[in-house]
Amino acid sequence: MVKEYLKFYIDGKWVDPVKPATIDVINPATEEVFARISAGGKEDVDKAVAAAKKAFETFSETTKEERLALLGRILEEYQKRLEDIAQACSAEMGAPIGLSRAAQAAAGMGHIHSTIEALKKYEFEEQRENSRIIREGIGIVGLITPWNWPLNQISAKVAPAIAAGCTMILKPSEVAPTTGTIFAEVMDAAGVPPGVFNLVNGDGPSVGQKLAEHPDVDMMSFTGSTRAGIIVAKAAAETVKRVSQELGGKSPNIILDDADLQECVTRGVNSCFVNSGQSCNAPTRMLVPAAKMDEALKIAKEAAEKHVLGDPSKDTTQMGPVVSEVQWKKIQGLIQAGIDEGATMVAGGTGRPDGISKGFFVKPTIFGNVTNQMKIAREEIFGPVLALIPYKDEEEAIQIANDTPYGLSASVESKDVKHALKVAKRLRAGQVRMTSAAFDTQAPFGGYKQSGNGREFADFGLHDFLEVKAIVGYDGKVSA
């Protein structure tokens, strides 16, 4: 049965689109339509922006305590819908249900909680000599989120926007939009004031670009590909609005000579293949000492072949399909490029995995003896494909790691924390994980170079949604 999500959430109400039009949502495991959404346009964006503009007049004046209470209610309602969110995520983008529960749905909850903790400690005003420095919500913000970690990115934007006193319009990815509708239901159940949060579904040109161009939108927060991020930035430039972007990555994972090769290579393969490799911070370039390449390839092959592919609804499945036919074809082309350019393929390859005839499944693929100029080392593949690159010494490893247009994240593996820290400081990336560190929602997330600008998570995420005002001549002696 095809589920229908045909209404938008604007000004605290579920409303029909101005012009009826629909987009089919495909289950990537079955290649069948499982849901249908309405496709919005300029008129829907105008209505949502008008609602957000009106709501900002009062919401921007709320106290920190009022916004904390609201975020607390949102968190409570979100927790009630965890299983619904996990099931929707699994159906719309193919994540195994275990991953959907433990990471996809849970990540959204984690960011709301982190924002609450950050807001409790945050001071919006400070005195500097003869000036009062005030940080206040930037205004109406457009939020564009991706399909690969939908609730992670929605919560990482919506929660700090609310904490800052902003009002917003969310456009989830049209590829994986059903979780966005559930999130809107959470916001409605939590009693978010009308106009503070609005949802308009649709594609990039018809909704996303119209948000970026809109003169009443003060800021755009975008997560997605570098290509799409450039389009958003150009559209926003006409009205000189702030643009915060978290874009692509080609993250290096440096396994230093003193690391435990068995442990670190296995962990690196598993980290790369999480979410079928569809993570902007996936460690897709594994740098290993040249003398250990053959041994590393043997370990990587064994790790890759242990992954269980299949029906995402089954608890035993470790890897589901990639999200769409478009992505599948792109990944197939890049795997073929790796073969054509002479990399050593020890696992995987083109085509569907053995025994699977339907769904956008990709064989977990390992390439070795890759040079950093090969296509599979330069381009973001966004699939379960790992490139092992040899290096002759530590200086060359750092040079190779930094030789990329991206700079979102990196990893350093060593038995010596001081050694790992020394290397980490020299990497041009917004986040560097050392020796198997867990994901941290209190740490800033964002990139250097073509991986974007701005930072998300906890108080770092809050900064981007704030303007800074100086009231010069107020010495703080008179109560404000």
Known catalytic residues are 246, 280
Give the Cα separation of 226 and 209 in Å (integer). Answer: 15
> How are beta strands 167-171 and 140-144 bridged, if at all?
parallel
Rounded CA-CA distance 59/195 in Å is 9
Residue 40 DSSP symbol = -
Which strands make up the sheet holding 466-472, listed edge to edge? 125-128, 131-137, 466-472
DSSP H or E run through 261: helix 261-273
Q: 106-121 vs 82-93: helix axis angle to the nearest 10?
A: 120
Give the span between the Cα atoms of 169 and 171, in whole angstroms.
Answer: 7
Asked if 409 contacts 432 with a C-beta cutoff of 8 angstroms, the reply is yes
Q: Are 151 and 100 in contact (CB under 8 A)?
A: no
CB 154 within 8 A of CB 110: no
- Between the alpha carbon of residue 106 and those of residues 86, 103, 206, 376, the distances in Å are 9, 5, 31, 31
Query: What is the chain's Cα-based Rg?
Result: 23
End-to-end CA distance of the chain: 59
